[in-house]
Chain A
Amino acid sequence: MTTTRRSVLTLRTLALAYVLGLVAVPILVILFRTFEPGLAVFIESIRTPAAIAALNLSVLIVAIVVPLNVVFGVVTAIALARWRLPGKGLIQAVVDLPFAVSPIVVGVSLIMLWGASGWFGGLQSSTGIRVIFGLPGMVIATIFVTLPFVVREVEPVLHEIGTEQEQAAATLGASGWQTFWRITVPAIRWGLTYGVVLTVARALGEFGAVIMVSSGFPGVSQTLTLLVHSRYIDDHNTYGAYAAATLLMGLALGTLLLMTLLDRKRSPR
């Protein structure tokens, strides 16, 4: 459209005011609040035993969730992209389901299945493994919300590279397993990495699903996001909450940067 200078400026101002007011200014305010008392105070706040325990727990959950998602995600993606299966549409729908489910509903569902009075409640009384209000519950909740990422990043890559390279490897004598490791894995590596980065970001940041299945004891069963919440709500430690949030934000920005870099790599040469 041949818009006049004035209308362009008006639209630009409106759009910028919206984005800056909604995103940039609040972030600057929290950064200011966090670092206003000085870097030492900030570091002290994120080095309390509870904060370190929370960071460790978050990292532990990521370390358990990522390999599981990689293995099952890649197998699922291969099944969807390569194999002739009945009911493929159903599998596709189930893979997308976690995107459509509220984190709170995820938590409630897991309680209904794994909780003391849930379908698998007997597990706790017979083996003593506490799923809900224990680490397994938080891990399962995190897997639920991150399940689509690896599949959704790897499957299109598999479609795009097609089957010719794999067939060529077969005619050259490579077994199925050799073809997978030497041809398929290198071809999907950037898509897979992207899926892993998304998984890590979401796993570190998940709150709703995890708070439902965690006992939330400081230093024991608090992840970083739960720490932010409890510092603000339970401890009325607003500064502590700001500091922990800033730490999480730093991690999120790191992943965002990584994603931008990967995005360029991921696109085919």
Chain B
Amino acid sequence: MSTTTRPREDVVQTSSSPPRPAGSPPTREGGRLRPATGRAIGVGVVGLWLSLIVLLPLAALTVRSLDEGLAGFWDAVTAPVALAAIGTTLVVSAVVALLNAVMGTLVAWVLVRDEFPGKRWVNALIDLPFALPTIVASIVLLALYGPSSPVGLQLNATRLGLVVALAFVTLPFVVRSVQPVLLELDREVEEAAASLGASNGATFRRVVLPTLAPAVISGTGLAFARAVGEYGSVVLIGGNIPRETQVVSQYIQQQIEIDRPVNAAAVSVALLGISFLTLFLLRLWGSRAQRREERSS
């Protein structure tokens, strides 16, 4: 390397002599916001946006639900039809969650451990319920299980119809949370258990299941939370029969339609409470499981 245009600061330069202006400051100097000012604006914008879109509507909902006092709130939530809708929702969601826990784990196991032609396509199918609009899910299921069913399965306006619709939209939760864990699961551990004389059943129960449990439970919990609030996929196949197949979201929608906003708001708050509680318990449980795992490793 020979001559370059880089500055060659004089080695014998003393501190009193002003150094050559070597480094050139960037061309843009003016018009710059102080970082602190820019951040303050940014934080303000974010806060305002989140408040306007998310917090204020929910605050308005909560306040309106108490328009007729706590007693009014309680009456709205415990009205027989409301209670029945809440009950139906919880029962059906619980059934769907359990179904997901079992079938989701099985599907994940088959997708990870089994080999068969077309496996990639089945794997791709799993994401479809998330990508499909819920109303399309409703129509799709009606086409097979509705009044004009080609196989004679008439699930329209039955609780089983609700289960099928909710199982459809929640299919990915457990599968997609168990799959990566199964992929990482050390096969040697299973083989070690087998070499120690454990039967297949014992190996699954005592070695595989405990490892999968956190993923299964988290997927099941998310599926439950989703099922509880679901509307679009059940609106057509559910039938909306009060005290039978009407779910909470349909009840709320009905209360708005017959102009009982306070009732709608109260039951909405109750539904929000159920969702939050589910997710809160799930997070609590998840962080405890994580801590346990950290201690054991």
Residues of A that sit less than 8 Å from B by CB? 1-3, 7-8, 11-12, 14-16, 18-20, 22-27, 29-30, 33, 72, 75-76, 78-79, 83, 85, 91, 94-95, 97-98, 100-115, 117-119, 140, 143-144, 147, 173-178, 201, 204-208, 211-212, 224-225, 228-229, 232-233, 238, 241-242, 245, 248-249, 252-253, 255-256, 259-260
B205 to chain A, nearest CB (A): 11
Residue among A19, A104, A114, A229 with the highest chain B CB neighbour number at 10 A: A104
CB pair A102 B35 closer than 8 Å = no
Q: Could you list some 26 contacts between A and B, CB below 8 A? A: A1-B204, A2-B200, A15-B106, A78-B42, A79-B39, A97-B58, A98-B54, A100-B279, A102-B230, A102-B248, A103-B231, A109-B61, A111-B256, A113-B56, A119-B60, A173-B26, A174-B26, A177-B32, A204-B133, A206-B133, A208-B235, A229-B236, A233-B236, A245-B139, A248-B136, A249-B132
CB pair A106 B57 closer than 8 Å = yes
Q: Bound state CA distance, A101 and B53, in angstroms?
A: 13
CB pair A102 B229 closer than 8 Å = yes
- Interface 9-residue window, one of B1-9, B68-76, B260-268: B260-268
Give 7 closest A-B pairs by Cβ, nearest first: A102-B229, A205-B133, A173-B26, A109-B57, A208-B231, A207-B232, A104-B249
B128 is an interface residue with CB less than 8 A from chain A: yes
Given known contacts A22-B168, A205-B134, A108 and B200 CB-to-CB distance under 8 angstroms:
no
Q: Bound state CA distance, A97 and B65, in angstroms?
A: 19
Q: Bound state CA distance, A91 and B46, in angstroms?
A: 9
A-B contact count (CB 8 A): 257
Within 8 A of A (CB), among B41-83: 42-43, 45-47, 49-50, 53-58, 60-61, 63-64
Q: Contacting A253 at CB < 8 Å: which of B42, B116, B131?
A: B131
Query: Chain A residues near B158 (CB, 8 Å)?
Result: none
Q: Bound state CA distance, A97 and B111, in angstroms?
A: 32
Query: Chain A residues near B160 (CB, 8 Å)?
Result: none
Q: Bound state CA distance, A238 and B143, in angstroms?
A: 9
Q: Which residue of B lies closest to A82 (CB)?
A: B39
CB pair A76 B140 closer than 8 Å = no
CB pair B140 A30 closer than 8 Å = yes
Interface size class of B (residues with CB under 8 A): 35 or more
CB pair A16 B60 closer than 8 Å = no
Q: Contacting A104 at CB < 8 Å: which of B38, B129, B164, B268?
A: B268
A29 to chain B, nearest CB (A): 5
Q: Bound state CA distance, A82 and B148, in angstroms?
A: 56
Q: Which residue of B lies closest to A148 (CB)?
A: B54
CB pair B109 A11 closer than 8 Å = yes
Q: Contacting B43 at CB < 8 Å: which of A11, A83, A201, A253?
A: A83
Q: Bound state CA distance, A145 and B272, in angstroms?
A: 15
Query: Chain A residues near B228 (CB, 8 Å)?
Result: 102
Residue among B109, B133, B145, B276 with the highest chain A CB neighbour number at 10 A: B133
Query: Chain A residues near B25 (CB, 8 Å)?
Result: 173
B144 is an interface residue with CB less than 8 A from chain A: yes
Query: Chain B residues near A25 (CB, 8 Å)?
Result: 144
B276 to chain A, nearest CB (A): 6
CB pair B64 A112 closer than 8 Å = yes
B241 is an interface residue with CB less than 8 A from chain A: no
CB pair A2 B135 closer than 8 Å = no
Q: Which residue of A lies closest to B272 (CB)?
A: A105
Q: Which residue of A lies closest to B105 (CB)?
A: A15
Q: Contacting B57 at CB < 8 Å: which of A8, A24, A113?
A: A113
Q: Bound state CA distance, A76 and B42, in angstroms?
A: 8
Q: Contacting A1 at CB < 8 Å: which of B26, B32, B200?
A: B200
A247 to chain B, nearest CB (A): 9
CB pair B114 A112 closer than 8 Å = no
CB pair B136 A229 closer than 8 Å = no
CB pair B53 A228 closer than 8 Å = no
CB pair B140 A26 closer than 8 Å = yes
B284 is an interface residue with CB less than 8 A from chain A: no
Residue among A112, A113, A144, A259 with the highest chain B CB neighbour number at 10 A: A112
Q: Which residue of B lies closest to A206 (CB)?
A: B133
Q: Contacting A110 at CB < 8 Å: which of B28, B57, B276?
A: B57
Q: Bound state CA distance, A102 and B269, in angstroms?
A: 11
CB pair B114 A19 closer than 8 Å = no
Given known contacts A19-B126, A23-B128, A225-B133, A232 and B139 CB-to-CB distance under 8 angstroms:
yes
Q: Bound state CA distance, A15 and B38, in angstroms?
A: 54
CB pair B148 A104 closer than 8 Å = no
Q: Contacting A105 at CB < 8 Å: which of B53, B225, B252?
A: B252
CB pair A76 B46 closer than 8 Å = yes
Q: Bound state CA distance, A98 and B225, in angstroms?
A: 12
